[in-house]
Structure 1
Amino acid sequence: MKSHPLYLYALDPTHIGAGGYRMGRVDLTILRDAGSNLPKVPGSSINGATRSAAIYSLPEDERQRAMAYARATIDEKNKKHPHKGSQDPIASIFGYAEGDTEGESRIGVVSFRDAEILAFPVPTMLGPRWVTTAHLLESAGCTKVPRPASEDQVIVQAGAAAPKRLNLGWLLLSAVAKEIPFPEPAKGLPVFDHLKERLVVVHDNIFPAIVNANLETRTSVSIDFETGAAAEGALFTYEATPRGTLFRGQVDVDDGRFRELVPAAMPLLEKALALACTLGLGGMTTRGFGRMQFALVK
């Protein structure tokens, strides 16, 4: 098994819905990790968007073949597949479960882990700064990460304009300038250098509060299709992680059991990720949400 870190930089706000309405401050909340209470992009969302985009990344003849197989798989009235899943260019890489009595099933060559926040943009008196923690940087492979001495102290990237105090939203904390390491993907994202210069390390205890206090809350309304105007009583609110959020996930490639499929899987995976990130991850993509830049570290 080979593991490849996957970095996702949000070009637009991102809404990965938790499902259904909730009675509270926000009607449509975003999905959060049960342990940390922090927003994340679940691996199932990345896998679904990437698999769908992979079909449109194929040559025309293979694309029609993959579409025919996909339609037969999801259509309850037509379980007669045009070919086996092992012979399908998409199913052989992402896995399949044919469902009929004579059907087969098999796990995919690639699997996606949840993408968690690595750096989160917060407004300050010096402009936007990207907040993270020593634990998150160490989990991304960084070493010698400085740690704040207490909850009311932050570490800012050493530079000419390092302040003695820094506000993170409504919080005003003392600041200490030190060199903060940052991961550098092999392919690289142009924005990584920009983020590294504006990196702020906060205490682990206050990181969830800073993130949840600086999420976007938007108001929208459903449209009455008969009149083309706002439907009466259909006002709702929803959450989103802001543009500029950097997520870190992981893609696992099973080169032990499916060694012969890996050479074809990796180029298709990168093409599909590029298309999926362009079209958008999560919900509300028709409202300008979900576009990403990605870096897959090999």
Structure 2
Amino acid sequence: MFEKTAAVFLYAISPVHMGAGQAIDIIDNPIQRERHTRHPSFAGSGIKGAVRHSYEALGGQKKDIDRLLGPDSSSAELHAGAISFGDAQLVALPIRSLKGGYVYATCPQALARAQRLLNLGGSATNWPALNVGEGSSLLANPALLSGDKLHLEAFEYTAKASEPLAAIAADLATKALPDTAAYAFFRDKLKTDLIVLSDTDFGYFAEHATLVEPHVRINAETGTADDGGLFYTENLPPESLLIAPLMASQTRTGKAENHLPAEAVFSQIKTLIDARLLQIGGDATTGRGLVIAKVEG
């Protein structure tokens, strides 16, 4: 039974390829998506595996890996880990904008789910409900408008300023990004350039506004492209924001000398990953999968 729950934000600073493992469309290597929303997601097992892989590089001690995260399946002393990461859900997606370069787009559904995880993790969050119809949008920054229209990619939306959204954006920016000079620009932009679309309109961008890159398989002997070696890989774009539940229990090794209460377990993992850079997903050698973690709770 998990005794301590928090939320962890994951902010992409490079393209991220958390692979789905199967292709059902023209994209050969698609990213993971939720079945019911089609929003991009990160499997909790992938997040936990990334933390385990980087544990010592992040400053943790090797002796703590098994008792906190659980031993390898081949271990002779199997026991459950004391830390669990849930699947990460999409909060905001960067969308190209006519004004301001790009905006952070979200929707009422994504905000409500993020608020639910924050509250479950003990971070008191009372964001007001926002209503927006299809073809319309809410924003906090009038400078993004052309007249009374907001232009995203090739689409035009009727837009109006929203004071409740401005309050949500300020709170989200404070919670989701580290309070350091390196992220000051992005905290400020998230505060001003968060926009809300309807669940339907946001769903379109969540499925069609990702990065899709062509790759060519090279023949090792000839140094030229193999016949039929063209394939397409999907990535979540940088500046995407997701949130996942983080849960901790007391250690369950069965050994008194290894025992840690849930509060101590949570403190160790928070110290290890909070405001730290993680690499998750595939294509690490090409600079993919870099995310900054921010623990809230």
Task: Mark yes or no: TM-score above 0.5.
Answer: yes
- Place the TM-score, normalised by the shorter chain, in its bin: 0.7 to 0.9
Residue 192 of structure 2: aligned partner: 197
Partner SS, residue 90 of structure 1: helix
Rounded to whole Å, the distance in 2 between the matches of 1:205 and 1:30 is 20
Among 127, 137, 159, the alignment partner of 2:111 is 137
Residue 71 of structure 1: aligned partner: none
Q: 1:288 to 1:221 in 2, by over 3 A?
A: same
Q: How much has 1:228 moved relative to structure 2?
A: 3.5
Aligned AA for 1:4?
A: A
Indicate yes or no: 2:226 matched with 1:251. no
Residue 45 of structure 2: aligned partner: 44
**Deviations 1:184-223 (Å, cap 9, x if unpaired)?**
3285453233112101111112211122121111100122
Residue 82 of structure 1: aligned partner: none
Residue 128 of structure 1: aligned partner: 102
Residue 11 of structure 1: aligned partner: 13
Rounded to whole Å, the distance in 2 between the matches of 1:284 and 1:174 is 39
How many residues end up aligned between the 2 structures? 266
Indicate yes or no: 2:161 matched with 1:177. yes
Q: What are the within-5 Å matches in structure 2 for residues 91-240 of structure 1? A: 91-96=66-71, 99=74, 103-126=76-99, 127-139=101-113, 140=115, 141-148=125-132, 150-159=133-142, 162-163=145-146, 164-179=148-163, 180=165, 181-182=168-169, 183=172, 184-185=174-175, 188=179, 190=184, 191-240=186-235
Aligned AA for 1:156?
A: L
**Deviations 1:218-255 (Å, cap 9, x if unpaired)?**
10012222234333321111111111101111211125
Residue 74 of structure 1: aligned partner: none
Residue 282 of structure 1: aligned partner: 281
RMSD: 2.6
Identity %: 25
Q: How much has 1:293 moved relative to structure 2?
A: 1.4
Q: 1:19 to 1:256 in 2, by over 3 A?
A: closer
Are the aligned partners of 1:146 and 1:178 in contact in 2 as well (CA < 8 Å)?
Answer: no
Q: How much has 1:50 moved relative to structure 2?
A: 0.4
Q: How much has 1:5 moved relative to structure 2?
A: 1.1
Partner SS, residue 31 of structure 1: coil
**Deviations 1:101-122 (Å, cap 9, x if unpaired)?**
xx33221111001111101000
Residue 64 of structure 2: aligned partner: 89
Which is further off, 164-173 or 6-15?
A: 164-173
Partner SS, residue 249 of structure 1: strand
Aligned AA for 2:95?
A: V
**Deviations 1:100-154 (Å, cap 9, x if unpaired)?**
7xx3322111100111110100011112011101232233234124321x21110
Q: Unpaired segments of 5 or more residues in structure 1? A: 64-87
Are the aligned partners of 1:54 and 1:269 in contact in 2 as well (CA < 8 Å)?
Answer: no
Q: 1:97 to 1:238 in 2, by over 3 A?
A: closer
Q: Unpaired segments of 5 or more residues in structure 2? A: 116-124, 253-258
Rounded to whole Å, the distance in 2 between the matches of 1:143 and 1:52 is 36
Aligned AA for 1:128?
A: Y
Aligned AA for 1:237?
A: Y
* TM-score, structure 2 normalization: 0.80
Rounded to whole Å, the distance in 2 between the matches of 1:52 and 1:5 is 21
Q: How much has 1:259 moved relative to structure 2?
A: 4.8
